[in-house]
Amino acid sequence: MKSSQVLLLLAAALTGAVSLSANSLPSDPVRLRVDVDRAVLPAGSTERAVVKIGLDCIRLPRREARPPVNLALVIDRSGSMAGDKIARAREAALELVRQLGPRDIVSLVAYDTGVETLIPAQRVGDGRRLEAAICGLEAGGNTALYGGVSRGAAEVRRFIEEARYVHRVILLSDGLANVGPSSPEELGRLGMSLVKEGISVTTIGLGLGFNEDLMTRLALRSDGNTYFVEHSSDLPRIFAAELGDVLNVVARRVVLEIDFPEGVRPMAFVGRDGVIRGQRAELTLNQLYGGQEKFALVEVELSPARPGEEREIACARVSYEDAVNDRAASLSARRNVSFSSSQEKVVASADHQVQADYAANVLAVAKDKAVELVDAGRRDEAAALLRQQAKELRAIGDTYANAAVSQSAAAAAPEADRLEREGLSNAQRKSYRADSTQVKSQQNASTR
């Protein structure tokens, strides 16, 4: 204990020295960029384009500059968790608590048939009470998942007024919710409601018994992370990854608005659940993590233009709470495209990164649909859908000589074959869902 404190001090001193020597602290932790899949578009016809609004976040300059967190650990202790699972969960939770600072707020909620607040929300302090409570976790009973999340949120809510804090519920479950509301839709709505309060729910599905639809939906709707952990031995790593994200929050309550000028019609978000109202597209994120990029892809349709014309394609504006400097901030950026009748110019102007991101998201959405089709017993349609998407992407890849796109297109084809042949196993379905969700929300930390 003593030696680790000394080490921590040393580390803090070192990083402090480094940051001092760097001495040019960027005032904004977030950078806003608007990219288009092609900077030059074909002239004379109605064209479709993909606009990528990227939010680049710098790494936190100093570890201790991070905003404090308000965490609720909601841990399943139903009968199915017995044995190694609960032991690993304990271990992981203990490790997580040790990583927290004394200012951070933690509550511990365990649920089985009923819900019990083992530790009400309080500052970590020396963490002894917490550790004792975590060590006392034993498994047995049913799975009141809804009640557990509700209680976890209620615990977080006690300190919701503390504006500097990052509010989050971490839910660990290995089973089907069998007490209380249990449909993915209802839990999704709960997630939507919670994110309005600034509470994200991270869901960790353990083993093969949980409902991945419910877990991914809850996480996606509340802008939390989601993980599929097949083996309980991975739990400590996942907790650490999750904490890495939570302790790296640089911006909160991020509202992204994209205004499109006349002649550019926003069609749809690719991957993310944004709202399009007329010429404006909106997207809300609960937080941004340092060192990661989050983005939104919007498909737009442009009215025909003359060759050589240059037009604005989108104007993005992001407002957020700067968690590092604890102040409100906003940024804006715009982007023009030009038109040309020369196919070579169009091809040469392609932004391979945007295309690759687009391809990944299109495939993620297609996979989600495929899962639904397989569930409905229509394997052939699911395979056809994946093949269709793969074909379209391959065309893009070939046209623009984009290796990344071609690669993901090529990977999709055998998957379609396997899907048609074997359907989806439980584990595959879970990883399909988790992967797709992670791609769509650009989750950095994942199981793989």
Instruction: State the residues that interact with other proteins by CB under 8 A.
Output: 113-115, 117, 142, 144, 146-147, 149-151, 153-154, 157, 163, 179-181, 186-187, 189-190, 192-194, 196-198, 252-253, 255, 257, 273, 275-278, 284, 317, 319-321, 328, 330
Q: How far is the CB of 261 from other proteins (least distance, A)?
A: 17
Interatomic CA distance for residues 361 and 444, integer angstroms:
15
Interatomic CA distance for residues 218 and 236, integer angstroms:
22
Q: How far is the CB of 308 from other proteins (least distance, A)?
A: 33
Q: How far is the CB of 321 from other proteins (least distance, A)?
A: 6
Q: How far is the CB of 269 from other proteins (least distance, A)?
A: 10
**What end-to-end distance do the CA atoms of the chain give, in Å?**
32
Interatomic CA distance for residues 31 and 318, integer angstroms:
10
Q: How far is the CB of 253 from other proteins (least distance, A)?
A: 4
Q: Measured on CA atoms in the order 195, 285, 441, 381, is the torsion positive or negative?
A: positive
**Judging by DSSP bridges, how do beta strands 115-123 and 105-111 pair with one another?**
antiparallel
> What six digits make up the tokens of 221?
């709707």
Nearer to other proteins, 190 or 390 (CB): 190
Q: How far is the CB of 114 from other proteins (least distance, A)?
A: 6
Which candidate, 166, 26, 16, 18, places its Cα nearest to that of 101?
Answer: 166
Chain centre distance of CA 385: 25
C-alpha distances in Å from residue 149, one per residue of 59, 188, 222, 263? 30, 12, 12, 45
Nearer to other proteins, 2 or 277 (CB): 277
Q: How far is the CB of 200 from other proteins (least distance, A)?
A: 13
With beta carbons less than 8 A apart as the criterion, state whether 159 and 105 touch. Answer: yes
Q: How far is the CB of 279 from other proteins (least distance, A)?
A: 11
Q: How far is the CB of 151 from other proteins (least distance, A)?
A: 6
CA atoms within 13 A on the CB side of 330: 8
Residue 283 bridge partners (DSSP): 256
Nearer to other proteins, 127 or 180 (CB): 180
Q: How many residues does the chain have?
A: 448
- Cβ neighbours, 10 Å, residue 306: 9
Residue 328 bridge partners (DSSP): 321
Q: How far is the CB of 177 from other proteins (least distance, A)?
A: 10
Nearer to other proteins, 284 or 428 (CB): 284
| DSSP structure string for 161-210 | T-TTSEEEEEEEE-S---SS---HHHHHHHHHHHHHTT-EEEEEEETT-S
Nearer to other proteins, 54 or 191 (CB): 191
Residue 314 bridge partners (DSSP): 335
Interatomic CA distance for residues 196 and 86, integer angstroms:
32
Nearer to other proteins, 221 or 367 (CB): 221
Burial of 384 (C-beta count, 10 Å sphere; 0-12/13-18/19+): middle
Residues 6+ apart with CB under 8 A from 354: 35, 36, 37, 50, 52, 297
Q: How far is the CB of 379 from other proteins (least distance, A)?
A: 28
Nearer to other proteins, 165 or 239 (CB): 165
Nearer to other proteins, 15 or 117 (CB): 117
Nearest 5°: phi and psi at 444? Answer: -80, -55
Q: How far is the CB of 299 from other proteins (least distance, A)?
A: 13
Nearer to other proteins, 61 or 191 (CB): 191
Nearer to other proteins, 117 or 446 (CB): 117
Nearer to other proteins, 182 or 292 (CB): 182
Nearer to other proteins, 218 or 445 (CB): 218
